């Protein structure tokens, strides 16, 4: 369910639909206090003052992703008096990996978790979640900063799969991997630098699969934590696949082995 709320109670003719943003210092503070599902908060560069200080404190206390942006970006998002702040509302309720992983391990089948390390393109993110839903992935884990916006565009690109697959937004991916290992999941990193062919990985085991951003791949600190680095065969001159395509190959290999 998408929250239908704006600071002015009216629809915008330009930019995001009114159901996807809240603007203005007090309305955003009230939204945070009311536990509105906020994807991230955009604040004008140099925003200051008592109310701005209160807002920043609430953002820190509730670990809400935020970024400072030029005022021009906020002006493009709304024609209203945004007072230097716009909150983007999430259409989904995020789950907690620290609670979800142990519960999944208590089930009678091997869980499959997908961790996306800073995949920022909304189309790739939506396509990956769509495939995840089709292949029975139990949850998708993303960082709370530096990832694609989980908004209406992502839901549309995923063909609604984002409303059905549990999404965990986590402040520390290393902590998630440590918990996954402790609970008995093998950690498989998908990387062209891997030494193991993806067909040689035993995906019948409980698995957490890591996919990295197209430009930078999986971050070194996460790559070091992997039990296995698996690669897809590349016969052409281009050395890597689109991340959504590569993720689909891996997820369907898991499905093939488990069937």
User: What is the pLDDT, as a whole number, of residue 14?
Assistant: 38
User: What is the pLDDT, as a whole number, of residue 2?
Assistant: 27
CB of 36 within 8 A of CB of 5?
yes
Q: What is the pTM of this model?
A: 0.83
How does pLDDT run across 32-76, given as a tens digit for each residue?
999 888 888 999 999 999 999 999 999 999 888 898 999 999 999
Range of the domain at 110: 97-258
149 and 239 assigned to the same domain: yes
Per-residue three-class SS string for 132-185 = HHHCCCCEEEEECCCCCCCCHHHHHHCCCHHHCCCEEEECCHHHHHHHHHHHCC
How does pLDDT run across 170-181, given as a tens digit for each residue?
999 999 999 999
How does pLDDT run across 91-145, given as a tens digit for each residue?
888 999 999 999 999 998 999 999 999 999 999 999 999 999 999 999 999 998 8
Evaluate if residue 208 carries a pLDDT over 70. Answer: yes
Evaluate if residue 10 carries a pLDDT over 50. Answer: no
CATH of the domain at 155: 3.40.1280.10
CB of 115 within 8 A of CB of 210?
yes
> In this structure, what token pair is assigned to residue 18?
């009114």
125 and 204 assigned to the same domain: yes
CB of 55 within 8 A of CB of 25?
yes
CATH of the domain at 72: 3.30.1330.30
How far apart are the C-alpha atoms of 79 and 57, rounded to whole Å?
Answer: 26
Evaluate if residue 253 carries a pLDDT over 80. Answer: yes
User: What is the pLDDT, as a whole number, of residue 36?
Assistant: 87
202 and 220 assigned to the same domain: yes
77 and 119 assigned to the same domain: no
């Amino acid at each position: 369910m998408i929250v239908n709320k704006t600071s002015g109670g009216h629809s915008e003719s330009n930019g995001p639909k009114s159901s996807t943003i809240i603007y203005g210092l007090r309305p955003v503070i009230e939204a945070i206090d009311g536990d509105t599902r906020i994807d991230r908060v955009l604040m004008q560069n140099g925003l200051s003052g008592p109310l701005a200080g209160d807002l920043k404190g609430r953002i820190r206390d509730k670990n809400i992703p935020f970024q400072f942006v030029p005022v021009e970006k906020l002006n493009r998002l709304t024609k209203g008096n945004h007072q230097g702040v716009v909150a983007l509302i999430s259409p989904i309720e995020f789950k907690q990996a620290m609670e979800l992983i142990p519960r999944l391990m208590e089930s009678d089948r091997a869980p499959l978790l997908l961790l996306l390390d800073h995949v920022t393109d909304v189309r790739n993110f939506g396509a990956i979640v769509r495939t995840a839903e089709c292949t029975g992935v139990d949850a998708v884990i993303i960082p709370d900063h530096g990832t694609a916006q989980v908004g209406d565009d992502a839901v549309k690109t995923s063909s609604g799969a984002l409303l059905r697959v549990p999404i965990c937004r986590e402040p520390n991916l290393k902590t998630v991997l440590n918990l996954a290992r402790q609970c008995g999941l093998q950690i498989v990193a998908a990387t062209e630098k891997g030494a193991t062919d993806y067909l040689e990985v035993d995906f019948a085991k409980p698995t957490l699969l890591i996919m990295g951003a197209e430009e930078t791949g999986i971050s070194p600190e996460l790559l070091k934590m992997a039990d296995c680095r698996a690669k897809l065969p590349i016969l052409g001159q281009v050395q890597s696949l689109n991340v959504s395509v590569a993720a689909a190959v891996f997820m369907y290999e898991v499905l093939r082995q488990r069937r």
